Structure 1
Amino acid sequence: MVMLDHLEPPLLSQAINSVLTKIADAEHIPSTVPTIIAPFLVPASKLKLEGRLLTKNSGKLPLYSIQVGPETDVSRAIAAKTQKPPPSLQIHYEPLACFLHLVRAANLPTSIIVGQRSQSPFNQALSEDLQTLYEIGQLAASTTGTYFQREQTSTNWIPTAKTASGGGVGESWLAFYGCYISIY
């Protein structure tokens, strides 16, 4: 599990590329490459449906899935439990565009789950965004045979950083920006 939160290009593209390279080159992975499940909460202002920006009045989008690369059992299961984005849905979200570009180039089996981030006032938005995260967590858990419990999900995510001298970071840009990527 890898969580990249609040990264912007070019650091975002470098971090994603490092993660995808580690997955593709991992020696501990059996002969088949695992399916990458990549959830994205996209701000409503970055989504257009039928040529109009989605607003608070437009209602909440269901979870959409986009399958990239070879199809797997996991990607089929996710597709069965989500909706396919309509052709009129336009997503103008740079982190997702960056991820799509890199995962297509790597040709790794990937299921991208797209949920809408709320535009409501702060407390209501947090509640709506957490609900979307819970739905994504349940979806990922049910399709991968893992366990997800809503009550034990922490809402205070505090990133930890390891330095090049203490954490064995191989890329200088990771140490410079205080990032450390681990794949579990």
Structure 2
Amino acid sequence: MRVGSRVVVLVRDSAGYGAALADALRPSPGLTRGSSPFDLPLDKYGLNGEKASGELVSFSDSSGSPQVSFFVLPDYRPPVAACAMNEILALISSEAPSIQPILIVPFITRPSGCFHGMVNATKTGQLTTLHAAEIGASNEFTHLLVDGIIKPPPSLQIRGEPIQCLLEMVRVLKIPTVLLVTSGGQHQGKSSSDSDLEVLQCVGDHVAKHINLEFSKETVIETGVEKSASIQEPWRELYL
């Protein structure tokens, strides 16, 4: 199971953004896309029968060598989340090329009082603002990814156990990582589908241009963004 030197980590969140972004990022000319499921046992953590499961998507060159890899993960819950992310990081380190892999972690949060300043109207009427931060170690590539982009505000709260665990681990392990974060949800004067497309394109275009992929807004329009029932009950966030 080979892994590219650029690794994108996406979570199938209840808002549907992670899965939609994984589908909308397509190979550029010269690359081919392939995917396969993976299961990593967690017995050594005392979680007998539990596994870190997900999908590994690879974009490979003509020789079959992965250039970019996506880990598309379920929204793991404790205690599986921390153990699963530890196993996935170990897999990345062991299966990536000899050069240290770089992680890209897109995170689309729902607008809330905990993230003031995430949604700002621009002169063009666009309501989506991208923020970026280097986590763990940094290098020339991570500098390029965050160049010219505002850092996330101090009020940012990551409401997702897998991403929280991942960010804490890469800090300790000093793995070069870039967190890309913006705010989703319906914006005033826009339909839900238009808002979803705007926020996905904001993140997708930025990721794609730095890792030689293409963002397909047509894919988002055709397949839509599948939200789980829980996203319709915002009161539940009070108890997270």
Classify the TM-score, shorter chain.
0.5 to 0.7
Aligned 1:54-65 pairs, distance under 5 A: 60=127, 62-65=129-132
| CA-based RMSD | 3.2
Q: TM-score, normalised by structure 1?
A: 0.65
Deviations 1:86-138 (A, max 9, x none): 34x332524342221122122211001111121569x9334323321222111
Q: 1:86 to 1:45 in 2, by over 3 A?
A: closer
More strand by share: 2
For the pair 1:85 / 2:152, whether they are aligned, the reply is yes
Contact kept? 1:81, 1:139, Cα under 8 Å: no
Cα-to-partner distance string for 1:58-102 (whole Å, 9 max, x where unaligned): x94511111112212331121015211234x33252434222112
Separation of aligned partners in 1, 2:134 and 2:165: 15
Instruction: Report if aligned partners of 1:45, 1:55 keep a CA contact under 8 Å in 2.
Output: no
- Quick one: which of 190, 196, 209 aligns to 1:142? 209
Distance 1:56 1:148 in 2: 23
Partners in 2 of 1:108 and 1:147 — Cα distance?
25
In the TM superposition, structure 1's runs of 4+ consecutive aligned residues that sit over 6 Å from their partners are: 54-57
TM-score using structure 2 length: 0.52
Q: How many residues align?
A: 150
Structure 2 residue runs of 5 or longer lacking an equivalent are 1-69, 227-240
- SS of the residue corresponding to residue 151 of structure 1 reads helix
Identity percentage of aligned residues: 24
Residue in structure 2 matched with residue 99 of structure 1 by the alignment: 166
Residue identity matched to 2:76 = L
Between the aligned partners of 1:24 and 1:103, the Cα distance in structure 2 is: 12
Higher share in helix: 1
